[in-house]
Structure 1
Amino acid sequence: MFDTVFGIPTHALVVHAVVVLAPLTALLLVLVAVSERLRARIGIALPLLATVSAISGFVAKESGESLERRVGESNLVEEHAELGDVLPIILIAVAVLTWVIWLVWRRTPRDVEAGAAKPSALLRVLLAVGVLAAIGLAVDVTLVGHSGAKAVWSGIGSQPAPSGGEGDDD
């Protein structure tokens, strides 16, 4: 199931979703934490996005393990696999956190005239944890992505370019 799609490794396709969705989730989580107005505008979109990110992360991990069996082990692949094992856990934790933040925020009484709510102590703590989680998620997805790029592209720059094509300096 996680091996190939139309002959292309599933991991190569799904990893792009994680590379886009995880940082977007982290960014929106920070915005939700710092602004009541943005919290209201973003609303349920953040927990939904975080959930899709977590699912994508799980599929990327499983398809990566399938791809690892195909390409064999190397130090770079092993480093990427070890880092990649942690990312779905972080994504699931962030998804759960965003749902809890959204639920607590929704249950916070609002001043009808002002339209704003004074955040409870619980919500303030959750939002602070959310900022830390967003930073951790951004760092982890960067490390995993970088190690994956190194595993794929290592040695490419040291190989001579084929002659006779575009870009020859001759």
Structure 2
Amino acid sequence: MSLTVVNGLPAHILFVHVVIVLVPLSALALVVCAIWPPVARRLGVLLPALALVALASVPLTTHAGEWLEAHVDSSSLVRKHAELGDSLLPWALGLFVLSAAVWWTARSAAAAQRDARRTAARWTSTPMRIAAVVLSLAVATGAVIDVYRIGDSGAKAAWQDGYSKTAQSQGR
């Protein structure tokens, strides 16, 4: 088993499912936590941990995809998919950075409330929260749209002319 082949299957085919699930899930969790700080406090370190796993899965999947690209017939659809696949890492990094910032802010605000100090008040001020929500919405939307575009192009590259729209009889 390697990072390019798992049980005889190209690893990209398996790893891509991790990205398809975790990037949108991280995006959703980030937006919810940015809008509702009590949810961020409740999730705790799970928010940035989820985004970190999503971030780590992107280069792993891209590497396996580059290996697969070298082992399939080249076409414009495959090249387009590979090109789009390279665009996801900055979005995943943005999700992680914002998730860590939202988590840290929620954690600091909770600690300040417990200690009856207001030193963290500047981090939880209304303009700062609005900025966090707007940035979170922008990065989450960009990441989800990019995952969709990459997945759509990959499906087209894999299935173009690879199936029949009508059922084929199998000796019945």
TM-score interval w.r.t. the shorter chain? 0.7 to 0.9
**Matched residues in 2 for 1:164 and 1:124: separation?**
60
**Matched residues in 1 for 2:136 and 2:166: separation?**
47
**After the TM superposition, which of the residue ranges 14-23 and 119-128 deviates more from structure 2?**
119-128
Aligned length: 163
1:83-132 CA-to-partner distances (Å, cap 9, x unmatched) read 1001122112211221122112222232789xxx9622434422321121
Cα drift, residue 157 of structure 1: 3.9
1:52-94 CA-to-partner distances (Å, cap 9, x unmatched) read 0011111111100000000032111111111100112211221
Indicate the residue corresponding to 2:63 in structure 1: 62
Matches within 5 A, 1:108-127: 108=109, 109-110=112-113, 119-120=124-125, 121-127=127-133
Tell me, yes or no, if the aligned pair for 2:33 and 2:102 is still in contact at 8 Å.
Answer: no
Please say if 1:146 is aligned against 2:152.
yes
Letter in structure 1 aligned against 2:153: S
Letter in structure 1 aligned against 2:102: I
Tell me, yes or no, if the aligned pair for 1:22 and 1:50 is still in contact at 8 Å.
Answer: yes
Tell me, yes or no, if the aligned pair for 2:41 and 2:107 is still in contact at 8 Å.
Answer: no
Tell me, yes or no, if the aligned pair for 1:101 and 1:127 is still in contact at 8 Å.
Answer: no
Please say if 1:133 is aligned against 2:134.
no
Tell me, yes or no, if the aligned pair for 1:105 and 1:123 is still in contact at 8 Å.
Answer: no
Note the residue ranges of structure 1 that are not aligned, 5 or more in a row.
Answer: none
Note the residue ranges of structure 2 that are not aligned, 5 or more in a row.
Answer: none
TM-score, normalised on structure 1? 0.85
Indicate the residue corresponding to 1:13 in structure 2: 14
**Matched residues in 2 for 1:128 and 1:42: separation?**
20
**Matched residues in 2 for 1:16 and 1:81: separation?**
16
**Matched residues in 2 for 1:48 and 1:163: separation?**
49
**After the TM superposition, which of the residue ranges 136-145 and 87-96 deviates more from structure 2?**
87-96
Matches within 5 A, 1:26-105: 26-105=27-106
Letter in structure 2 aligned against 1:77: V
